[in-house]
Amino acid sequence: LQLKNTHINYGATAKFFHWAVALLVIGLLALGTYMTWIEFSPFKLELYGIHKSFGTLVFILALLRVVWRWVNPKPEALQTHKKWEKKLAHYTHILLYVFLFAMPLSGWLMTSAAAFPHHFFGFFNVPALTGKDESLFKLMRNVHELSSYGLAAIIALHFAGAMKHHIMDRDLTLKRMMPQRPMLLLAVLLFVCTGLVVANNYNAAQNATADNANAVVVREDAPVQSNEVAVQENAAGAVPAWEIIKEDSNVSFTATVQGTAFDGGFERFDGEIQFDPENLAASRADIKIDLASVKSGSSERDEYMVAPAWFNTESFPESQFLATEFQKIDENQYVAVGDLRIKDTSMPVSLPFTLTIETDEAGNNIANMQGELTIERLDYGLGEGQWGDLSTVANEVLIRVSVKARQVEGAGI
Ligand code: HEM
């Protein structure tokens, strides 16, 4: 077996790189087109994961191929090739390499800029090349799409050239690149690809199980429908009311897709708070969140989140946290107990939080509150139908509430 090239022939290594990359790239062009065309679903996300892994594999093979080309003699063009043919072939090969690198690099940058998951067949996380940047994401998505047309056109030209030499000129151009046992190469590639796809799915399932096992869920009992929720009336007292200072407050969350966490938040929310650390029994908070104001740094993902399978904002525009019971557990540490309603489901939850109250220069009492709790999205019907599959989107969602509020009325504290 001749591994290295000679001045007249390609060795087995160059042939392997050529055909492995060719088959993978053609497969990726087809997979990329198909996966972007189908509807949003866990299957689509799975295909994206597989596409990214194989795309990264092509990048590695392309790098190795360039190194191999560099340390090896390049077989000379056949004597029978005309001058224009040599020139055209030369530029075609340069463009093939340009697109071969442009495709995975733009893909990698696109995924990095969107902070989307990128695991190499589930074996390890591929590091992001940049921070989150939606305009870079959009730019790289266009580059990726346009390069895919360029690559397909250049492959077609390359293929046409090979066919011309083989069928019309009947020379050795194609024959000297053919592997000695093409069927063996095909079988090995198919076997390796199937193994990698299986490993990808196996690792995804393992990660999902680990995610679920690690989660700490602060909640109680079974879900109750919202119309059955009894709103507890507190003893009315002179409890101060607080006005939320919106620009210094936020409601955010962390969810996990394909083992990678992403953060989101809500731009619009409001609430009525009556709170007195000395009169917890009469304290109460009613926070309402406009779910359509969700922002996660990806406008595309935001659109999916408001769709019927998730928040379904058309039917359920608002989510509500109604806290009717407060407990002090330590200095500045409290727990708010109440009901969290999302869509048509209301569940009892406990929100542990820290609270400090200070007086600002104008003499106003300013409260700073920070708390977080984990919910299980399926309890609230978040992710209906095939989205119930927890290996794609983890069940646990961490919710963080950070509120700065000014006391507006009631007894001084
Ligand atoms: C040689 C390697 C690659 C080829 C031939 C390829 C090909 C394609 C094609 C044809 C599309 C469909 C384009 C469209 O119509 O929008 C696509 C989409 C995509 N590719 Fe690749 N790709 C490669 C590598 C990668 C890599 C390494 C990544 C990420 C790490 C990646 C991520 C993506 C993503 C996220 C999309 C979907 C874009 C969207 O949603 O519009 N690709 N790819």
Q: Give the burial class of 124: count Cβ atoms within 10 A of its Cβ; 0-12 exposed, 13-18 middle, 19 or more buried.
A: exposed
Q: How far apart are the first and last CA of the chain?
A: 87
Q: Write the residue with the smallest CA distance to atom 18 of ligand 1.
A: 32
Cβ of 24 closer than 6 Å to ligand 1, yes or no, is no
Residue-by-residue pLDDT tens, the chain, 413 positions: 788 888 888 989 999 999 999 999 999 999 999 999 998 888 999 999 999 999 999 999 999 999 999 998 888 888 888 899 999 999 999 999 999 999 999 999 999 999 898 999 989 999 999 998 999 999 999 999 999 999 999 999 999 999 998 899 888 788 889 988 888 888 999 999 999 988 888 887 776 666 555 544 444 444 444 433 333 334 445 789 999 999 999 999 999 998 889 999 999 999 999 999 999 999 999 999 999 999 998 888 999 999 999 999 999 999 999 999 999 998 999 999 999 999 999 999 999 999 999 998 888 899 999 999 999 999 999 999 899 988 889 999 999 999 999 998 654 55
Enumerate the β-bridge partners of residue 320: 288, 341
Neighbours of 52 (CB within 10 A): 23
Q: Write the residue with the smallest CA distance to atom 31 of ligand 1.
A: 107
Compute the distance between CA of residue 57 and CA of residue 261 in angstroms, rounded to an integer. Answer: 24
Q: Give the burial class of 271: count Cβ atoms within 10 A of its Cβ; 0-12 exposed, 13-18 middle, 19 or more buried.
A: buried
Compute the distance between CA of residue 341 and CA of residue 229 in angstroms, rounded to an integer. Answer: 10
Q: Given the structure tokens 């990359």, which residue do they identify? A: 21
Pocket test for ligand 1, best of 61, 144, 155 (most atoms within 8 A of CB): 144
Ligand 1 center–CA 312 separation, angstroms = 29
Distance, C-alpha 253 to centroid of its chain: 15
Q: Closest ligand 1 atom to the C-alpha of 56?
A: 27
Cβ of 102 closer than 6 Å to ligand 1, yes or no, is no
Q: Closest ligand 1 atom to the C-alpha of 126?
A: 30
Alpha helices in 164-224 (DSSP H): 182-214
Q: Find the angle CA(252)-CA(255)-CA(259) to the nearest 5 degrees.
A: 150
pTM of the shown model: 0.80
Q: Closest ligand 1 atom to the C-alpha of 99?
A: 1
Pocket test for ligand 1, best of 25, 38, 47, 51 (most atoms within 8 A of CB): 51
Compute the distance between CA of residue 249 and CA of residue 255 in angstroms, rounded to an integer. Answer: 20
pLDDT of residue 209: 66
Cβ of 109 closer than 6 Å to ligand 1, yes or no, is no
Buried b (16+ CB within 10 A) or exposed e, 75-87: beeeeebeeebee
Q: Tokens in use for 98?
A: 């340009």
**What is the identity of the amino acid at 238?**
A
Cβ of 258 closer than 6 Å to ligand 1, yes or no, is no
Q: Closest ligand 1 atom to the C-alpha of 151?
A: 5
Ligand 1 center–CA 104 separation, angstroms = 7
Size of the chain in residues: 413
pLDDT of residue 222: 42
Q: Which long-range contacts (C-beta less than 8 Å, at least 24 apart) are formed by 171-177?
A: 171/78, 171/80, 171/81, 172/78, 173/78, 173/81, 176/8, 176/9, 176/10, 176/75, 177/10, 177/15, 177/18
* 241 within 8 A of 272, measured Cβ to Cβ: yes
Distance, C-alpha 138 to centroid of its chain: 15
Cβ of 21 closer than 6 Å to ligand 1, yes or no, is no
Q: Which of 224, 223, 355, 342 is nearest to 283 (CA)?
A: 355
Compute the distance between CA of residue 247 and CA of residue 268 in angstroms, rounded to an integer. Answer: 10
pLDDT of residue 77: 82
Cβ of 120 closer than 6 Å to ligand 1, yes or no, is no
Compute the distance between CA of residue 2 and CA of residue 4 in angstroms, rounded to an integer. Answer: 6
State which H helix or E strand residue 267 sits in: none
Angle between helices 83-114 and 42-70 (to 10 degrees): 130
Cβ of 55 closer than 6 Å to ligand 1, yes or no, is yes
* 228 within 8 A of 368, measured Cβ to Cβ: no
Neighbours of 259 (CB within 10 A): 20
pLDDT of residue 95: 97
